[in-house]
Amino acid sequence: MNSIHHLADVQAENIGAGTRIWQYCVVLPGASIGAGCNICAHVLVENDVIIGDNVTVKSGVQVWDGVRIEDNVFIGPNVTFTNDLYPRSKVYPKQFSVTTIKAGASIGANATILPGLTIGEGAMIGAGAVVTRSVPANAIVQGNPARIAGYTNTKPEAAVGTRAPDARKPPFHDALNVRGVTLHQFPLIPDMRGSLTVGEFDQHIPFVPERYFLVFDVPSKETRGEHAHHACHQFLICVRGSCTVLVDDGTNRTEVVLDSPDRGIYLPPLTWGVQYKYSADAVLLVFASHKYDAADYIRDYVEFVQIVKTQGS
């Protein structure tokens, strides 16, 4: 049974059990609100709105037509949703833009969400952020315009495996807490004529590549990757400058900083990878075990997690 304050104007009938709607709220007839929600005082919910289960909407929020909020989402006080990029008084679009807040995401106080965006599963929007682009799953964004500052539930780089027998001399590698991912250190030979670093395929790098590509001139606010592969193995070396690599196996998530040409990271298939925090001079070299195949890419994080669970069962 839900609880609706007598000073609230709730016209909707599709409201789940255990939901509490506090005083001075307005909920229009077409809205759908799930079970176990907490809709705090002074909240407006329009008609074409779907709110899932266990959602918290704090005071001062207007949830306009076209907003879709999935389960276990937190909406902080005075968050501003929008649904029309070019609004005019008494002029209405044929259809309002759909904004989707995926399960488990949190939006901090006074953040502004532009229309038509998707806030990814488990993402965290910082207080006061102005979100102008869709946010990947588990990303932490902040600022105006909002930029990715990190990822939730990410553990710092930590070795959990064993190194090669002679750990005093590279090449050696460490296993990380993300399944199958290893961090490699290569020989570095300094010389007054210039330094050199070297590695051998199938010995120091765990596969013989069919392809390579370089990523460079990436603005610091941008992210690359944001996908996994069904079959392709990858090996990443930042040959100039630095960048941060996020690796995720669907359960564990770790960040590694690549900031030297004698350091590389191996990503086996079914590893979600993201590269971001590029320095202005960064050049990232990627070796791949397969030729390019669009069908080998998994670009949706939720789909990736489901595939990992299915293959692991």
**What residues act catalytically?**
227
Integer Cα distance of 17 and 145 in angstroms: 38
200 Cβ contact list (under 8 Å, min separation 6):
none
Radius of gyration for the alpha carbons in the chain, expressed in angstroms and rounded: 24
**Antiparallel, parallel or unpaired: β 172-175 and 182-185:** antiparallel
Cβ–Cβ under 8 Å, residues 33 and 15: yes
Q: Report the run of H or E that residue 124 belongs to, with start and end.
A: strand 124-125
Phi-psi region of 135 (alpha: psi -120 to 50; beta: other; left: phi over 0): beta
For residue 253, the one-letter residue type is R
User: Which H or E element spans position 100?
Assistant: strand 99-101
Query: Is the distance from CB of 197 to CB of 262 less than 8 angstroms?
Result: yes
Instruction: Tell me if 27 sits within 8 A of 48, measured CB to CB.
Output: no
